[in-house]
């Protein structure tokens, strides 16, 4: 079994941003030389998400609106008693989930035609890490 | 490391359907001959989900009602500016998640007594693909 | 490829509890001797969740409040026609998701500084199982 690990760092200008990372993952897969297996992608922070969906700005704003309607920024969360102001970001991370697996077949990410991988930053403006780990043969 | 890949195609009659795919996965596991490892199951479209839960019609209608209450069909989504009418289906895919991993132990899916695997179609009436990839030994 | 499997059993006193299982997973990783790979953690019941987030009581109560606001206990769910009273727990399991993957690098769980793994019990006061399966080399 082969394994390849890479860390990406994001430092967004805005509190919330949605960043397409599909190309970065494809590059790591090429470096890994793995032909068959699984690529695991996860945020390493608890105020960010990773999901698979459309590279379409209308959808991205729909997603942001849905997350805000369920877990709005600025609400008086219990978590804020610690001095933090990012209670919404923790809940948004739960709702989107913070990790995905991508299948690798014949050296390629085996995705459908519209599947793009996104890093969803919910509490940005500081450095946050993401891990890519590809295993297979 | 062994690997086995299979694609399923769904073409539902209704816009939204919830389809139990546990037997299909068990069949692929048997074909693979893998005894220990992980089975990865993912929708290859961004308007469908995959989840593990109960094969009980009441629960399925509860799930559909919950998803409709958060991301109703027919709402005027930003995504619809592209000409699409399936903004709700993209959001429902985020909420249910579109993939699961199943553990494989001694040639069997190592599931609890009530765990069934479902393909959730949120924008059907056309052909949609799902990937099963089992890795292990 | 090496593989290590362990089952944990929970029997909570309360209907809903959120239990940090990070130490148990680290212990199984040490027993496994696996240096590089993936650790899969999943509830084996359909009324429980597994997620990665903060070991902070304020956040945990925020999460519980969010789940209750979307899928409240005591509502008259369709699922209850079967005689069950845990329709909310099935929906909460969908919302949190019931499984996570953890990367293993150099014999350690390769997590960010605040990432803790939780078992979320939504219908407790009886024995429920969770599976840990670590694969790699």
**Beta strands per DSSP E along chain A:** 2-10, 17-20, 37-43, 48-53, 99-105, 108-109, 116-121, 128-136
d(CA C58, CA B36): 40
Percent helix, percent strand, percent coil in chain C, to nearest 5: 30, 35, 35
pLDDT band at B29 (very low <50, low <70, confident <90, very high): very high
Share of residues in chain B with pLDDT > 90 (%): 100
The alpha-carbon gap from B32 to the nearest alpha carbon of chain A, in Å, equals 14
**Structure tokens given for A39:** 């690529």
**Structure tokens given for C73:** 């206990």
Determine contact: C136 vs chain A, CB below 8 A.
yes
d(CA A19, CA A23): 11
pLDDT reported for residue B93: 98
Listed in sequence order, the residues at least 6 apart from A68 whose beta carbon sits closer than 8 Å to its beta carbon are A88
The alpha-carbon gap from B136 to the nearest alpha carbon of chain A, in Å, equals 9
Q: β-strands A116-121, A37-43: how paired? A: unpaired
Residue B110: name the closest of C7, C75, C100, A73 by CA. Answer: C7
Residue B109: name the closest of B77, B81, B134 by CA. Answer: B134
pLDDT band at B22 (very low <50, low <70, confident <90, very high): very high
Average pLDDT value for residue range B110-132: 98
Neighbour subunits, A (≥3 Cβ pairs < 8 A): B, C
* Helix (H), strand (E), coil (C) string for chain B: CEEEEEEEEECCCCCCEEEECHHHHHHHHHHHCCCCEEEEEEECCCCEEEEEECCCHHHHHHHHHHHHHHCCCCCCCHHHHHCCCCHHHHHHHHHHCCEEEEEEECCEECCCCCCEEEEEECCCCCCEEEEEEEEEC
C71·B66 Cβ contact <8 A: yes
Residues of A whose CB is below 8 A from B129: 112
pLDDT tens column, A14-26: 999 999 999 999 9
C103·A42 Cβ contact <8 A: yes
Determine contact: C106 vs chain A, CB below 8 A.
no
The alpha-carbon gap from B81 to the nearest alpha carbon of chain A, in Å, equals 7
B54·C81 Cβ contact <8 A: no
pLDDT reported for residue C133: 98
Average pLDDT value for residue range B74-94: 98
Residue A48: name the closest of A130, A134, A117 by CA. Answer: A130
Q: Is the ipTM of this complex over 0.90?
A: yes
Substitution target from A20, A35, A54 for chain B, most B beta carbons within 10 A? A54
Residue B136: name the closest of A42, A46, C118, A38 by CA. Answer: A38
A51·B78 Cβ contact <8 A: no
- Return the axis-axis angle of helices A57-70 and A87-96, rounded to nearest 10°: 120
Average pLDDT value for residue range B60-74: 98
Chain B residue with minimum CA distance to A116: B46
pLDDT reported for residue B53: 98
C51·A78 Cβ contact <8 A: no
Residue A46: name the closest of C115, B14, C49 by CA. Answer: C115
Decide if A28 contacts C96 (C-beta within 8 A): no
Chain B residue with minimum CA distance to A105: B5
* Assigned CATH for A2-136: 2.60.120.460
- Return the axis-axis angle of helices C57-70 and A87-96, rounded to nearest 10°: 50
Secondary element (H or E) of residue C60: helix C57-70
**Structure tokens given for C97:** 């998701």
Listed in sequence order, the residues at least 6 apart from C41 whose beta carbon sits closer than 8 Å to its beta carbon are C21, C25, C50, C99, C100, C101, C102, C117, C130, C131, C132
pLDDT tens column, C71-125: 999 999 999 999 999 999 999 999 999 999 999 999 999 999 999 999 999 999 9
pLDDT reported for residue C87: 98
Average pLDDT value for residue range B113-133: 98
d(CA C41, CA C21): 10
Share of residues in chain C with pLDDT > 90 (%): 100
Chain B residue with minimum CA distance to C130: B112
Determine contact: B38 vs chain A, CB below 8 A.
yes
The alpha-carbon gap from C83 to the nearest alpha carbon of chain B, in Å, equals 11
pLDDT tens column, B92-106: 999 999 999 999 999
Q: Which residue in A54, A96, A100 is closest to B99 by CB distance?
A: A100
Maximum C-alpha span of chain B: 51
CA dihedral B52, B55, B59, B64 (to 10 degrees): 70
Determine contact: B59 vs chain C, CB below 8 A.
yes
């Amino acid at each position: 079994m082969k394994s390849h690990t890479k860390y990406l760092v994001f430092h967004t200008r805005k509190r919330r941003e949605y960043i397409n990372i599909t190309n970065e993952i494809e590059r790591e897969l090429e470096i890994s030389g793995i032909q068959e297996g699984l690529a695991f992608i996860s945020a390493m922070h608890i105020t960010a998400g990773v999901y698979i969906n459309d590279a379409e700005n209308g959808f991205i704003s729909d997603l942001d609106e849905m997350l805000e309607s369920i877990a709005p920024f600025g609400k008086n969360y219990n978590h804020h008693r610690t001095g933090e102001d990012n209670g919404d970001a923790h809940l948004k991370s739960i709702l989107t989930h913070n990790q995905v697996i991508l299948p690798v077949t014949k050296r390629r990410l085996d995705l459908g035609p519209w599947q793009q991988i996104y890093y969803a930053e919910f509490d940005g403006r500081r450095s946050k890490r993401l891990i890519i780990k590809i295993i297979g043969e």
